Amino acid sequence: MTKFSELEISSPIVRAIEELGFEQATKIQEQAIPAILKGEDVLGLSNTGTGKTAAFGIPAIESIVAGGKHPQVLIICPTRELVTQVATELRKFSKYKEGVKIVPIYGGQPIDRQIQLLKRGCGIVVGTPGRIMDHLDRKTLKLVHTNMIVLDEADEMLNMGFKEDIEQILTSIPEDRHAQTILFSATMPDAIMRITKQFQQNPVKIEIKSSQRTIDTVEQIYYEVPKGKKTNALRVLLNHYQPDLSMIFCNTKKMVDELCDELNNAGCKAISIHGDMKQMFRARVMEQFRSGNYPILIATDVAARGIDVDNIALVVNYDIPQDNEYYIHRIGRTGRAGRKGKALTLISGKKQKLFIKDIIRYTKTNIVKMPLPTNEEMMRTHRNAFIQDVRKACDEGITQESMEIANELLAEGLAIENILSALISMNYKYEVIDIEDINDKKMKKGVETSTLKINIGRNVNVKPGHIVCAIIEECQVHANVIGHIDVRQSFTLVDVDKNVAVKIIERLNERHIKGKQVTVSFDEGSSKKGKKKDRKHTPKRGEKDNKRENRRKKKNRRR
C-alpha cells in the first residue's frame, strides 16, 4: 500500500492527515488522488466506506487558490447527512492550508444564513442537488470560477429522482470552460453512463473490486454503548468471554497507545503495535503476544497486515473501520484453521449504527445485536469455566507430590471439604465490573438523599455536566447516585445518595472543577427553590396621599 507522504500532496495536507492518524491510502485513494491531481476526469466505481471522501477531497483542497469569491469546487451529495459528513472531513484535511473556506448547503436549514456565507466568498461548496438548484435560481451561487465538480454517490442521487437537477447543474458551467468532472458510484446503470458520455472527457475509470466473502467460522456481534463508555464496555466483554488471545483494532496510533495504557492500568495485560514501531520492537511484541504473556494485542489496520497468528479467539472493533474492506481483514484474524471465532464491534450513536447496516449488506452476513452481559451472567460464565478447568486438571492425572501434600493435610485432621473450599478460594478470582457505570442509569426513586453545596456556580460558567463528571471521576461512584443539580450564581447544590455523601465530600473537597479549587460541604439552609431578595416596600399612590394627610393632621394638633 502507498503512504500519503508518497503521493504528490502538499505538506500542510499531509500534516493534517498524519495528525488524524491515517498512515496509508486505501485502494481508491491510491488510484484516484494522482489522477485527479493531474486534472483528469475520473469515473470511480466503489462501495460506500472505501475512503472516497479523501479520494476526491484531498485533490479538491489542493486545487483551491485562496482569496476567490466564487467557489472553485462544487461537491454534490444525495443527502444532508452526507453533505455534513463530507464538509466536516474536508475541514479536517484542510486544517493547515490557509484560505480554504468550505460552505455546506442543504434543505432544512435557513437559506438566509447560507446566502450570507456564500456572499462572503468560499473555495468549496458541498450541497444537495435541490438546494444547489435553489441557490442557482436565486443567483446566490455562481459557477463562473468552478474548475471541479464532484458527484458523490451518483447512483443514489439518480434513484432519488435528481437526474434533471444534476444535468441542469452540470450545464450551468460556462460553455467556454471545461470543469474537471469527478463521478463516484457504487453501481454503473445506463443513466450514469449517459452522464459520463455527456459531461466527462476521456475519464480515467477506477474500479475497486470487493473482496467480500462470507466468513462462516466467525460469529459477528455488535454492542451499542453510550459515548465515552467504550473502554468500560470492552473490559466487561473481555472479562465475560475470557479469550486466550484477542486482537483489538483502533483507527489511529494515538488511540492504540491510549487504550493500551487504560487496559493495563485496569489490570488487563495488553500490548500494542502500530506503524511507528521499528521492526525489531514489532518482532518482540508479536513474540509476547503469541506466547500469551500479553494475551491482548491492540493494533491499527496497517500494522496488523503482517500479523499471522492462527489461534486468535476474539477480534474487537473498538473503533469503526475506515473502510469496509478493513472490516473483512479485521474479523478474518479469527476463525482460522477450522477454529470458531468471535468478532465484536462497539458502536455509539446513529451514524455508527448505519455503518453496521452497510457492513451487513456489504459482507452478506448477519451481525447480531446483543446487550452487554450482566454481572450475574459474567459470574456464571466464570464459575462454569473454573469448574471445567478443575475437571480438566483431574483428567490429566495427579502427581505424587500433590498426593503427599493432601495426605499431610488430612493427617492434621482437616476435613476434605475445608481443604477443597480453601483451594477454590485461593484460585477462583472474579472481578466485578459494575454495568451501571456503563448504562448511566438515573437515581432510583425513593432513595434517601443529602444535599451538598459546592462553592462554584454560574460565575465560572459551571454546567451540571461538569459537576457530574467531577463526582464520578474523583469519587469513583456511579452516575445513579447523583440526583438534582441546581447551579446558582456563586455556588451549586447537588442531591446525592445519602450513603455516599461523606465519601463525595472527602474526595471532591479541594479538587478542581473548571480550573477552580472547590470546597464541598453539607448544605445548611440554602433553599432548593432559591431565596428571594428582600425588597423595600414601595407605597402605592393612595398610600402616599394617606401618609401626607396624617402628617398634616399631626402638625395641626401640635399647633
Cβ neighbourhood burial of 538 (10 Å; 0-12, 13-18, 19+) = exposed
> When comparing pLDDT for 496 and 478, which is higher?
496
Cβ neighbourhood burial of 315 (10 Å; 0-12, 13-18, 19+) = buried
Residue 32 backbone dihedrals phi, psi, to 5 degrees: -80, -40
How many whole angstroms separate alpha carbon 479 and alpha carbon 226? 13
> When comparing pLDDT for 480 and 185, which is higher?
185
Amino acid identity, residue 210?
Answer: S
Q: Look up the CATH superfamily of 4-207.
A: P-loop containing nucleotide triphosphate hydrolases (3.40.50.300)
Residue 48 is predicted with a pLDDT of: 60
User: CA 3 from chain center: how many Å?
Assistant: 25
Residue 319 is predicted with a pLDDT of: 92
- Whether 4-207 shares its CATH topology with 441-522 is answered no
Measured N-to-C along each axis, helices 163-171 and 190-199 cross at an angle, to the nearest 10 degrees, of: 10
Q: Read off the C-alpha cell for 131.
A: 438546494
Pairing of β 492-497 and β 449-454: antiparallel
Which CA distances in Å does 102 have to 124, 134, 245, 401? 5, 18, 45, 76
pLDDT mean over 430-459: 71
* Residue % of the chain over a pLDDT of 70: 86
Residue 173 is predicted with a pLDDT of: 87
Name the 3-class secondary structure at 312.
coil
pLDDT mean over 332-347: 84
396 has pLDDT over 60 = yes
Measured N-to-C along each axis, helices 27-37 and 52-63 cross at an angle, to the nearest 10 degrees, of: 20
pLDDT mean over 57-75: 93
Residue 9 is predicted with a pLDDT of: 93
How many whole angstroms separate alpha carbon 233 and alpha carbon 225? 7
Residue 433 is predicted with a pLDDT of: 55
Residue 531 is predicted with a pLDDT of: 39
Q: What is the DSSP letter of 72?
A: S
What's the pLDDT band for 532 if we cut at 50, 70, 90? very low
DSSP E strands in 274-340: the ranges are: 296-299, 314-317
State the fold for domain 218-373: Rossmann fold (3.40.50)
Q: Which residue has the cell 463530507?
A: 86
Residue 530 is predicted with a pLDDT of: 42
Question: Quick one: which of 80, 67, 76 has its CA closest to 148?
Answer: 76
| Cα maximum dimension of the chain | 126
Give the DSSP H/E element, type plus range, for residue 444. none
What's the pLDDT band for 384 if we cut at 50, 70, 90? confident
Kindly list the domain boundaries of the chain, sorted by start residue. Answer: 4-207, 218-373, 376-427, 441-522
Q: What pLDDT, in 10s, does the model give residues 399-426?
A: 888 888 888 888 888 888 888 888 887 8
What's the pLDDT band for 529 if we cut at 50, 70, 90? very low
What's the pLDDT band for 471 if we cut at 50, 70, 90? confident
Measured N-to-C along each axis, helices 350-363 and 324-331 cross at an angle, to the nearest 10 degrees, of: 70
> When comparing pLDDT for 302 and 167, which is higher?
167
Cβ neighbourhood burial of 286 (10 Å; 0-12, 13-18, 19+) = middle
Residue 555 is predicted with a pLDDT of: 54
Q: Which residue has the cell 493500551?
A: 260
Cβ neighbourhood burial of 183 (10 Å; 0-12, 13-18, 19+) = buried
Residue 277 is predicted with a pLDDT of: 75
Q: Which residue has the cell 459470574?
A: 379
Q: What is the mean pLDDT of the chain?
A: 83
Q: Which CATH number fits domain 441-522: 3.30.70.60, 3.50.50.60, 3.40.50.300, 3.30.70.330?
A: 3.30.70.330
440 has pLDDT over 60 = no
What's the pLDDT band for 528 if we cut at 50, 70, 90? very low
Residue 535 is predicted with a pLDDT of: 38
pLDDT mean over 234-240: 89
pTM (predicted TM-score): 0.48
Spatial neighbors of 557 by CB under 8 A, at least 6 apart, are none
Of 252-256, 452-456, 528-532, minimum mean pLDDT range? 528-532
Q: What pLDDT, in 10s, does the model give residues 93-150?
A: 999 999 899 999 998 788 999 999 999 999 999 999 999 999 999 999 999 999 999 9
Query: Quick check: 115 and 140 in contact, CB under 8 A?
Result: yes
Of 173-182, 200-209, 330-339, 544-553, minimum mean pLDDT range? 544-553
Q: What pLDDT, in 10s, does the model give residues 284-328?
A: 888 899 899 999 999 988 677 656 677 899 999 999 887 777 888
Spatial neighbors of 261 by CB under 8 A, at least 6 apart, are none
Amino acid identity, residue 491?
Answer: F
